[in-house]
Amino acid sequence: MSLSLQNGGAPTRALPSVTTVHATSGGNQRTTRPITTGTSVLGIKYKGGVMLAADTLVSYGSLAKYKNARRLVTVNSRTLIGASGEYSDLQSISDLLVSNALEDRCTADSLYDEDNNEECAGEVWSYLRAVMYQRRNKMNPLWNDVVVAGFRQEPDGTTTDTPFLGVVDKIGTAYEDDVLATGFGAYIALPLMREKYRPDMEEGEARALLEDCLRILFYRDCRALNRVQIAKVTKEGGALVSEPYELDTYWDFKGYVTNKGEIGTDGGW
Amino acid sequence: MFRNMYDTDVTVWSPEGRLLQVEYAMESVKQGSACIALRSDTHSVIGALKRSVSELSSHQQKILEIDDHLGIGIAGLTADARTLAKWMRNECLNHKYVYGTAMPTGRLATDLADRHQRTTQTYVRRPYGVGLLLASFDKNGPHVYQTCPSGNVHECYATAIGARSQSGRTYLEKHHETFPTCARDELIMHALRALVGCISGDGELTSENGSIGVVGKDEKFTLIEGAELQPYLDRLELEGGNNGGDAEDEDEVEAEEKEDDAMET
> What is the distance between the alpha carbons of residues B116 and B111, in angstroms, rounded to a whole number?
9
Determine the pLDDT at residue B256: 45
Tell me, what DSSP letter sits at residue A143?
A: -
- Partnered with residue B210 across adjacent β-strands are B49
Would you say residue B175 has pLDDT above 60?
Answer: yes
> What is the distance between the alpha carbons of residues A75 and A90, in angstroms, rounded to a whole number?
12
Determine the pLDDT at residue B140: 86
Q: What is the tens place of the pLDDT at every residue in A100-118?
A: 988 888 877 667 765 567 8
Tell me, what DSSP letter sits at residue A248?
A: P
Q: Which of A14, A108, A119 sits opposite B106 (nearest CB)?
A: A108
Q: What is the tens place of the pLDDT at every residue in A68-107?
A: 999 999 998 999 999 999 999 999 999 999 999 888 888 7
More confident residue, B166 or B243: B166
Binning pLDDT at 50, 70 and 90, where does residue A176 land? very high
Q: Do residue B101 and residue A110 have CB atoms under 8 angstroms apart? A: no
Identify all chain A residues contacting B139, using CB atoms and an 8 Å cutoff: 116, 153-154, 156-158
Annotated catalytic residue A31:
yes
- Do the beta carbons of residue A217 and residue A71 sit within 8 Å? no
Of the residues A12, A19, A31, A173, which is catalytic? Answer: A31
Q: What is the tens place of the pLDDT at every residue in B137-151?
A: 998 899 999 999 999
CATH of region B32-253, choose from 3.80.30.20, 3.40.640.10, 3.60.20.10, 3.90.650.10: 3.60.20.10
* Nearest chain B residue (CA) to A132: B98
Q: What is the pTM of this model?
A: 0.85
Choice among A2-6, A34-38, A157-161, B185-189 with the minimum mean pLDDT: A2-6
Binning pLDDT at 50, 70 and 90, where does residue B196 land? very high
Q: Which of B69, B94, B110 sits opposite A109 (nearest CB)?
A: B110
Using a CB–CB cut-off of 8 Å, the residues of A that contact B are 10, 14-15, 104, 107-112, 116-117, 119-120, 122-123, 125-127, 130, 153-158
Q: A36-247 in CATH: which number?
A: 3.60.20.10
Would you say residue A180 has pLDDT above 60?
Answer: yes
Find the length of chain A. 269
Q: Do residue B104 and residue A157 have CB atoms under 8 angstroms apart? A: yes
- Partnered with residue B67 across adjacent β-strands are B70
Would you say residue A267 has pLDDT above 60?
Answer: no
Tell me the nearest-neighbour CA distance from B102 into chain A, angstroms: 5
Q: Do residue A107 and residue B107 have CB atoms under 8 angstroms apart? A: yes
Identify all chain B residues contacting A117, using CB atoms and an 8 Å cutoff: 104, 106, 140
Determine the pLDDT at residue A114: 58
Tell me the nearest-neighbour CA distance from B145 into chain A, angstroms: 10
> For helices B78-99 and B105-119, what crossing angle results, to 10°?
140
Determine the pLDDT at residue A134: 96
Residue spans of the domains in chain A: they are: 36-247
* Nearest chain B residue (CA) to A104: B107
Please report, rounded to a whole number, the percentage of residues in chain A having pLDDT higher than 90: 68
